[in-house]
Structure 1
Amino acid sequence: LLKINYWETYPEHIDSLWKKIIESSLIDDYSNDSKNTFEEDKVFVVNLFKKIIAPNSKLFEFYEDMEISWANDYPLINTLVLNSLKKIKIRSRISFVMKRLYKNDEDADFGVKIIKAVIDNKEMLQDEIGKITPNWDNERIAQIDLILLQMCLSEFLFFDSIPIKVSINEYLEIAKEYSSNKSNIFINGIMDTLSKQLDKDKRINKNKRGLQLFTIFDEI
């Protein structure tokens, strides 16, 4: 994540934003009333963020240059900031604290664990996928689809608290966002077949939580 001291190196972005704020009608309307309430102050700050800061193209380009994933994180971060601003309460320091991005340490560690599982077991994962796609060389499968298949298969085998259908649905959503229109159909077919075969071979071992959720999804 970018630290606030970046602005010492790139003050022009702060200057640019400040000029836009000063020139906006928002500042005129706000400054005309010398007796604003706390709620009115909060509305003013929220509007500044929504109408000037968040949509600023130069600021977006700066973040994108400094952090390659910013384009993907942009909607989430803006939503978190906006919700935090709206929830600020008078004389309450805790209300100024940004909401946690992850619900707990397990959630925060998940990304690292799934990547490590894929890297450590890459050959085995590719072999398993190859059994279901005998007429497809790995080179013929889109790289993003192959990665998603490997990640989903890793969840089947190494993450005992995540139900099979939860994993499949999650990677189908990712495929819709980042791959081709037909990828989710391809991935769904491969993972559905793989999950049934692995379950038949008793290679899928889910804990109580995973099994409970699996049962719920089966009943829907």
Structure 2
Amino acid sequence: MINRVLIRTRVLQTAYAHLHRGELKLTAAEQDLMVGLERTYDLYLYLLQLIPSLTDFYQEVLDVRRRKHLATREERSPNLRLIRNRFAQQLASSEKLQNWYNQFGLRWQDDETLLRHLIRLIEDSSLYDDYLKGSTESYEQDQNFWADAFHHLFAADDLLNERLEQQSIFWENDLKIQEKIECEERPSGEEEQVQAVIEEAKSMGQYQSTSFANGPVEVVKDFVEKTLRKAVESQPIDEQILPMFREEEDETFARHLLRQVLVKHDEYLKLIEPILTEGWSSERLADMDALLLRLGVTEFLHFPGIPTHITINEYVELAKHFSTAHSASFINGILDAMAKRLREEGKILKQ
């Protein structure tokens, strides 16, 4: 499940945090990296577990409604199709998911406000109306209902996202790297000054945040939806839940990329300096831009199986989220020139 997009993002965050702390201990950096990746995988499993947990809670809600003194006819005899949903039952039967959930520190059941909110979203939706009106019942219809509910009702829900963030599993910046801030006058001093501007903007209702389309959280949501849609009734659900790493080489890629950029960050900056445009020295580079360039050079030199254009595109996308408004084009130009020079010098052979 952890793909190269997620790995590059987490390596960037980890390296930035450690360089700014003045910590270059590889063991500590690798440990932080793996914790970040594990949290990302936890989010994947946690969101899958939402469906059986919400189904159990809905059963409790229907039971309470049924016992009301002045229960309506519909409350006394509710439609139980969602409770009998075959796909939810299949997820509930997963030993892998239940074993993980039993050892995990968070419980969906501990937040009744959120669960009631999600139930209301479902019951008020045309998606739910159409589901109940279906003339036939099948596994495919049950599966499609939950996949569509996750996509249309849950994935962008503000309260759900807020709760996940509060529970410290939703972190985009779990190593407290930096927040991308775009304002007319950004203070050039310490982090405290930047934070003061953020707080002032929030208090005045002028603060806005946007999700990173290729960031860890959004990528995880995509994998959750793919898992929901690709499951089949004839196969055990445990075989369809994605592992943390699809291939062992992905974990190796993560560790090696982090090691090289930390160990050789000064050396790589010296390689980049001759490419910098006139008027730009390494001292004038934004810290994030300098790190993005170093990571690009690391991939050029140490990962022959990754084409240079793939590397460039990936770090341009990261620059759009983590650096300034002009950084993406800057990163693109410097890395493209760097790749050409390294090929001319025979240091890389790939295209």
CA distance in 2, matches of 1:117, 1:97: 34
After TM superposition, the structure 1 = structure 2 runs for residues 155-166 of structure 1, keeping only pairs within 5 Å, are 155-166=299-310
Aligned counterpart for 2:291 among listed residues 147, 150, 165: 147
Q: Which residue of 2 aligns with 1:79?
A: 222
CA distance in 2, matches of 1:193, 1:30: 55
TM-score (norm 1): 0.75
Q: Which residue of 1 aligns with 2:275?
A: 132
Q: Which residue of 2 aligns with 1:196?
A: 340
Q: Which residue of 2 aligns with 1:14?
A: 115
Conserved in 2, the CA contact under 8 Å of 1:175 and 1:183? yes
Output the aligned Cα RMSD: 3.1
Aligned counterpart for 2:161 among listed residues 47, 50, 60: 60
1:107–1:59 Cα change, 3 Å: same
1:16–1:148 Cα change, 3 Å: same
1:199–1:45 Cα change, 3 Å: closer
1:122–1:77 Cα change, 3 Å: same
CA distance in 1, matches of 2:322, 2:281: 21
Q: Which residue of 2 aligns with 1:45?
A: 146
Conserved in 2, the CA contact under 8 Å of 1:38 and 1:90? yes
Structure 1 unaligned residues grouped into runs of 5+: 215-220
Conserved in 1, the CA contact under 8 Å of 2:342 and 2:348? no
More divergent stretch after superposition (72-81 vs 18-27): 18-27
CA distance in 2, matches of 1:176, 1:47: 30
Q: Identity rate of aligned residues, in percent?
A: 28
1:42–1:198 Cα change, 3 Å: closer
1:195–1:52 Cα change, 3 Å: closer
Superposed CA offset, 1:51-107 (max 9, x none): 332232111112233131285223322222222222222232158623456542212
SS at 1:148 equivalent: helix
**Greater share of helix residues, 1 or 2?**
1
1:164–1:44 Cα change, 3 Å: closer
1:126–1:23 Cα change, 3 Å: same
CA distance in 2, matches of 1:37, 1:92: 16
Structure 2 unaligned residues grouped into runs of 5+: 1-38, 47-100, 174-210
TM-superposed deviation, 1:150: 0.5
SS at 1:161 equivalent: coil
Count of equivalent residues: 207
1:69 aligns with 2:69: no
TM-superposed deviation, 1:122: 1.2
1:166–1:82 Cα change, 3 Å: closer
Look up the equivalent residue of 2:111 and give its one-letter code: P
Superposed CA offset, 1:124-167 (max 9, x none): 11222223337434342222221110001111222232233332
1:96–1:44 Cα change, 3 Å: farther
Q: Which residue of 1 aligns with 2:71?
A: none
TM-superposed deviation, 1:120: 0.7
Look up the equivalent residue of 1:78 and give its one-letter code: K
1:18–1:131 Cα change, 3 Å: same
Conserved in 2, the CA contact under 8 Å of 1:7 and 1:14? no
Conserved in 1, the CA contact under 8 Å of 2:108 and 2:115? no
1:199–1:8 Cα change, 3 Å: closer
CA distance in 2, matches of 1:37, 1:68: 37
- Give the number of the structure with larger relative contact order, counting CA–CA contacts within 8 Å between residues 6 or more apart: 2
TM-superposed deviation, 1:24: 4.4
Conserved in 2, the CA contact under 8 Å of 1:84 and 1:96? no
Q: Which residue of 1 aligns with 2:80?
A: none
After TM superposition, the structure 1 = structure 2 runs for residues 99-110 of structure 1, keeping only pairs within 5 Å, are 99-100=242-243, 102-110=245-253
